[in-house]
Amino acid sequence: MIWLWSALSLLMVVIIVRSVGVLSVGGVFAATCVLSQATILAVSSFDLAYLTDSSWISFRPVASLDAREAACELYFLVVAATCLAVTVPKLPSSTRMVTQLKTSFGDKQTNLFRTIIWISFAVNLVHFVLIDRDKLWSAAGYQVMKNPEQMGFSAALLPLFLLPRFTGFVAITGLVVFLRKKDLIASAASIVAFAYSFLLSLAQNSRLASLYILAALAANALIGRRLVTIVNAALLCFSMVTAIAVLKGRHDPTQGVGQAVSQLFSFDVEGADFLGLFLNLNASGLITADSIVTNANYPDRYKELSFSPFPSVVDGFSDIREQEERRVNYFTPINAFGEVYLFGSEYIAIFLASIYVWVRSSAVASRKLGPRFSAVITLLGILSAVTLQQYSLRTGYRFILVSIAVCLVAIWISKRPSRRITPPMLASSNQASSMMRRERIKLSRGHED
């Protein structure tokens, strides 16, 4: 049955890609689900005794065949919901030549964004001053880099400790804006803030490090208005190298920039490292299957608040998380798919409906607002997909809700006549048509005379 669910999911991915493209929320999300199924299929094809004896998997349970089949079936349902979202009902035709987002910021927007960039720069600078810089290079102990107290921060400074991991995405966006504006000082501040966020993610063995390089690739494509360039090819290779360093480093109890660099020189391409890299890259399939084996029970309040759109300070989720959250083992939390499966059929239905609305609204908004908006919402979709595969439902579901809200607001704005923007290419075409029409009228009047 694993082969059947995987084959059907792959067929639907082809339909999704033909409908909205692979670089879309639906395409990216469906692809991650199929990769998870491929991981389960790969594990099922190997000798389980070999996998259990391997050092990189010895700390985790090996799910039974029934659990792996159940995980593949759940991924199939998710891909099916994604396929329905891009096919039923039929998507509107692309109107990106009719309605476009503004290609440049006005003075007010630029000044506001410049303020945000300098705040990000200041946050990263204060973080660098306060952090234990010796541990930033090399820190012994699992998850030391993510523990604020061990890295020199008090509990009161927790937001300051967490923010630099994400300010890099703001910084790389600022770099695109300010290079177009030829603001070299703000551009330099953006580069410094981006570089620090990247190094911090690399030191923590976070997959965000590789995503940062891909974000830089997208930024370079927007600046140069070309995707296929030597620089972008180099950035893509560097992203792959970063992914290898991070994923292999996640098997190591030490952290830090120096540790991540040393992992590259100790990588064994012909040995178990390559298999471990593949399974770590798409480990969510195994995590989901292992989660099913746990047969964990959750209270109703935990289930309901996992879908809550409100922050913990409002709904109190953080008060019950430590006691009620379940884990596959000490290192690995049960991911969103595993939690949804264990919650029960009614919550699976809610999750599938949310996926439908998320993918559908993203596809409609992308078609109405064009490639620039599509690139932004797809980047958010990649973050959502990765988070859902690796972390609890509460964490990943927030990104889905944010994406839906952004898309619905964008669709609403695009329908307002006062907000519609005629792009230069279409405006020139309309002017040319009007001139030709006037010439024909003049000629016809001349013939009449």
- Model confidence over 143-182: pLDDT tens digits? 677 778 888 887 777 778 888 877 888 888 788 778 878 8
SS3 104: coil
What local confidence, expressed as pLDDT, does residue 425 receive? 44
Query: Is residue 447 included in any domain, yes or no?
Result: no
Query: Is residue 243 included in any domain, yes or no?
Result: yes
Look up residue 381 and give its two tokens: 């979709």
Mean pLDDT of all residues in 189-211: 86
Domain around 110: 2-425
What local confidence, expressed as pLDDT, does residue 145 receive? 76
Mean pLDDT of all residues in 108-122: 84
User: 10 Å Cβ neighbour count for 210?
Assistant: 24
> Does residue 420 register a pLDDT over 60?
no
Closest C-alpha to 75, from 395, 289, 277: 289
Task: State how far the Cα of 102 lies from the Cα of 106, in Å rounded to an integer.
Answer: 9
- Percent of the chain as helix, strand, coil, to the nearest 5: 75, 0, 25
Sign of the torsion formed by the C-alpha atoms of 271, 277, 280 and 286:
negative
Query: Is residue 445 included in any domain, yes or no?
Result: no
Task: State how far the Cα of 151 lies from the Cα of 173, in Å rounded to an integer.
Answer: 28
Query: Is residue 6 included in any domain, yes or no?
Result: yes
What local confidence, expressed as pLDDT, does residue 105 receive? 53
Mean pLDDT of all residues in 269-288: 65
295 and 346 Cβ atoms separated by less than 8 Å: no
Identify the band that residue 214 occupies on the pLDDT scale cut at 50, 70 and 90.
Answer: confident
What local confidence, expressed as pLDDT, does residue 281 receive? 62
Angle between helix 2-20 and 25-45 (nearest 10): 160
Query: Is residue 449 included in any domain, yes or no?
Result: no
Domain count, the chain: 1
Query: Is residue 446 included in any domain, yes or no?
Result: no
Cis check: omega of the bond before 89, within 30 degrees of 0: yes
Look up residue 375 and give its two tokens: 């690139």
Closest C-alpha to 302, from 289, 313, 291, 316: 316
Angle between helix 208-224 and 167-180 (nearest 10): 10
> Does residue 45 register a pLDDT over 80?
no
- Half-sphere exposure at residue 14, Cβ-oriented, CA atoms within 13 angstroms: 5
> Does residue 206 register a pLDDT over 50?
yes
What local confidence, expressed as pLDDT, does residue 53 receive? 44
Identify the band that residue 59 occupies on the pLDDT scale cut at 50, 70 and 90.
Answer: very low
Closest C-alpha to 19, from 85, 77, 80, 75: 85
159 and 95 Cβ atoms separated by less than 8 Å: no
Q: Which of 85-99, 249-263, 369-383, 413-427 has the lowest mean pLDDT?
A: 413-427
Distances (CA, A) of 36 to 71, 232, 238, 279, 321: 9, 27, 24, 9, 26
Q: What is the pTM of this model?
A: 0.70
What share of the chain has pLDDT > 70, as a percent? Answer: 78
